[in-house]
Structure 1
């Protein structure tokens, strides 16, 4: 089969022919229809500090996908059948730690990640434990079915507190931030602000319904927010960028008693004045990792099945495996939304 492989400890990846994976008794083999590129995949491609400390090449990476089951192990329950149309939760949890046993598998003490800790979905076939499977509605396109993982990240970030009637600021408009704009509007935010240094992404946020799109390179965002909120600040900040400057802005613009949901991951430890920015402000900080398994998946499915919600504008580019390098370079340039990859030809 064809597979995109992180071959060694350096920038880039390779398209190779490799053996189709064999499955265990509790696994299924899935023929991949389409997969999508995550920011984590870009880090692996770039071989940044995180990737160099975590990834052990050679590795087939990628963890966002949709496909059909073509083989199943003897211990896979009958609820999953050959030809089922599925996607998968990328976190494989241990099932026995305190978090797993109390319904918090998304913060399992010993989880492994598809396409990070073992071979993933940038391939014609992928092996997945049945415990990670999600059956898709046949009416949902494979492209949309492949983005449930990152959409779930956005959904969990927005849902960390009740945003109805509150001002919400999305700090960082990558694909997950753009999904968050859609969700915040649908969940009844009184106003949705989008902040990013990238004009392409801000234009997408505007198209998706963000009422105020602000570029810190062109505008004093702190001053503008004070003006627009009559000095009060933002009720809920969704921190998606993970940079030192974005965190500094988040704390500055947060209203006293406000809430920050943090999904963005800084490249290095940050210094925060907790006394002034958190304690005296009465702020609530909520760290977000992954999705609630599988609670968030049910919520995501409800969005994808809702004709009033249009997520497709976030999916901006499509490439075949043969052109994967062009896809990663485009994503790195910042001039894209979500990019999807097809093992073979792109459907017309």
Structure 2
């Protein structure tokens, strides 16, 4: 089978032929049809300090995917051959304190598909049957491939009640744009999104933002005035990992405001704890997706609103056949895009 592999501890990837993976008694084998590119994949391709400290090559990359089940293990009853599935990329132990308490998304022994075990940038991938989310036959394959980032956005955005609230989202990458669509669907009053890329801010406006703020030229304080806001933002969703964005968000939160933080910073940075205390702000770190409450929530939103589904679909701006993976990575790295999808189906093949 074809597989996109980090072959050694150095920059770059190789598309090579590998044997098909075997299936254990509780596993499913999935023929990958679509796979989404994530910032994690870019770090692994570049082989930066984080990648070198996290990954042991050789490794097949990729953790955002959708495909068809082609084989199930002898003990699997929940998934059938022929079903179409998306994959939860966090494989958990099932026996640590958090797993036993139903908080599997904070399992201390989590293994990441495409990070700590073989991933989905390949014709075939094997995951535990418990990690396969069965999709309706009618689901758009491209949408099925982005349930992982949609789950991150859903988990972050729905930390707080949003009906009638004024929401600021820092970072208009794919997850920030998806969070915009969720906040609009959930009934937020005003939604303001900040970024340094006008291209990505345009995607946020298309997904339902009321105002897009280029942080290189404009200030959130002025956005509040433009919208007639008098008391600051009620909810903040931090998707950028950029210290200046976090600082400006905190400066513009209402007293009693609530902030959910998903964006990972490159380095530690200070936060104005005096303002957090005197303004009684709540700051909550977010990781991954709740397994599997988040999956139920995003499936329901997509099934009950074509407007929401169209807004989610709008984040996908580029599609490439798997053979053109280098162009796909270059596009994703450019920042002048939304979500980039690679097509691993026969229809996506070149030549």
TM-score using structure 2 length:
0.95
Shift of 1:71: 1.2
**CA distance, structure 1, for counterparts of residue 67 and residue 230 of structure 2:** 50
Task: Assess if the C-alpha contact under 8 Å between 1:36 and 1:65 holds in 2.
Answer: yes
Instruction: Report the RMSD for the aligned CA atoms in angstroms.
Output: 1.4
Task: Assess if the C-alpha contact under 8 Å between 2:25 and 2:73 holds in 1.
Answer: yes
1:301 aligns with 299
1:29 aligns with 29
Q: Does 1:243 align with 2:245?
A: no
Task: Assess if the C-alpha contact under 8 Å between 2:176 and 2:239 holds in 1.
Answer: yes
Shift of 1:68: 1.1
Instruction: Give deviations 1:131-171, integer Å, cap 9, x for gaps.
Output: 11110011101111111111011111111011111100110
1:278 aligns with 276
2:46 aligns with 46
Counterpart of 1:305 in 2: which secondary structure? helix
Instruction: Give deviations 1:280-313, integer Å, cap 9, x for gaps.
Output: 1100011111111011111111122232321211
Which sections of structure 2, spanning at least 5 residues, go unmatched? none
Q: Does 1:291 align with 2:289?
A: yes
1:116 aligns with 115
2:150 aligns with 151
Instruction: Give deviations 1:26-66, integer Å, cap 9, x for gaps.
Output: 11111111111112112212222221210111110101111
Taking a change above 3 Å as real, the CA distance of residues 227 and 252 of structure 1, as seen in their structure-2 partners, is farther
Shift of 1:228: 4.1
1:321 aligns with 322
Counterpart of 2:97 in 1: which secondary structure? coil
**CA distance, structure 2, for counterparts of residue 262 and residue 117 of structure 1:** 24
Taking a change above 3 Å as real, the CA distance of residues 251 and 226 of structure 1, as seen in their structure-2 partners, is farther
Counterpart of 1:99 in 2: which secondary structure? helix
TM-score using structure 1 length:
0.96
Shift of 1:246: 1.5
The count of corresponding residues between Structure 1 and Structure 2 is 345
Taking a change above 3 Å as real, the CA distance of residues 226 and 269 of structure 1, as seen in their structure-2 partners, is farther
Instruction: Give deviations 1:302-326, integer Å, cap 9, x for gaps.
Output: 1222323212111111001111111
**CA distance, structure 2, for counterparts of residue 109 and residue 331 of structure 1:** 30
Which sections of structure 1, spanning at least 5 residues, go unmatched? none
Task: Assess if the C-alpha contact under 8 Å between 2:247 and 2:272 holds in 1.
Answer: no
Counterpart of 2:125 in 1: which secondary structure? strand
Moved more, 222-231 or 49-58: 222-231
1:61 aligns with 61
Shift of 1:225: 3.1
**CA distance, structure 1, for counterparts of residue 225 and residue 92 of structure 2:** 43
**CA distance, structure 2, for counterparts of residue 182 and residue 230 of structure 1:** 21
Counterpart of 1:122 in 2: which secondary structure? coil
2:340 aligns with 339
